[in-house]
Amino acid sequence: MEPVVVAVAITGSVPRKKDNPAVPVTPAEQIESTHEAYEAGASLVHIHVRNPDESSSSDPGLFAQVQEGVRRHCPGMIIQFSTGGRGRDPSARGSSLPLRPDMASLSTGSVNFPTIVYENPAALVEELAEGMREHGVLPEIEIFDLSHIHGAKRLVEAGLMNARPHVQFVMGVKNAMPAEEHLLDLMLGELRRVLPDATWTAAGIGVNQARVMEWALARGAHGLRTGLEDNIRVSRDRLASGNAELVRMAVEQAARHGRRPAKPEEARRMLGLAAAA
């Protein structure tokens, strides 16, 4: 069976304990939840951190705690920090890059979200890309719109990242790109034309999680994304018991397509990352 990188987005910036008590918000909870997801087959963890009131934080100290715990308990797992902007001071969004995670998310353009404009002005995008380059962090380019692919291309042309980024198509955010299969084909065709060496995955938000994974698997994606950041339920009537349950569901879905979860060392090779220290 061919390997696929299973990414788990453990927390995000939106869901709260009141929405699902399993959402991990403290560093200790995040480390434990990540370890459970790792044991279930995840080889990449996408990390947001929270303040005590559960609001989004950019505190490098919190990122450092989670990173240290994941490295100790999940050998080889790819650690990816969020530089996303919901509820965070733009000037602080790259403040944890000196911790040198393996990867960091990078949105290359602005987009409407349900209640805000997710602002990513060109100067900020370039600043974040430069910080990633300086600290040896591989970007995961978050694509909410066709123009964002070309934003990534401009970063390559400017020498701010190499021509083999990891790209994630985000589908199903209200007011942004709908979760429609033909749109994934459109986006994927443009990515292959503009950045032919990129690896890719796709994220479906909420009820779209499983169907977007299905489309990605059918098209030979390098990775899948699941986790409580994107979806807090396993069905209309039942909340997910944790990130591990969502990872197990993704692994079962991959198996139906003849794919298995990549081991951490395989995932690193697939994404062009160095072996874990």
Distance CA 174, CA 148 (A): 17
Task: Supply the pTM of this predicted model.
Answer: 0.97
Separation in Å, CA 46 to CA 9, 98, 243? 5, 17, 12
- 193 close to 165: Cβ distance less than 8 angstroms: no
Q: How far apart are the first and last CA of the chain?
A: 27
Q: Please report which helix (H) or strand (E) contains residue 117, including its range.
A: strand 117-118
Q: Please report which helix (H) or strand (E) contains residue 4, including its range.
A: strand 2-9
Q: What is the pLDDT along the chain (277 residues), one digit of tens a residue?
A: 999 999 999 999 999 999 999 999 999 999 999 999 999 999 999 999 999 999 999 999 999 999 999 999 999 999 999 999 788 999 999 999 999 999 999 999 999 999 899 999 999 999 999 999 999 999 999 999 999 999 999 999 999 999 999 999 999 999 999 999 999 999 999 999 999 999 999 999 999 999 999 999 999 999 999 999 999 999 999 999 999 999 999 999 999 999 999 999 999 999 999 998 7
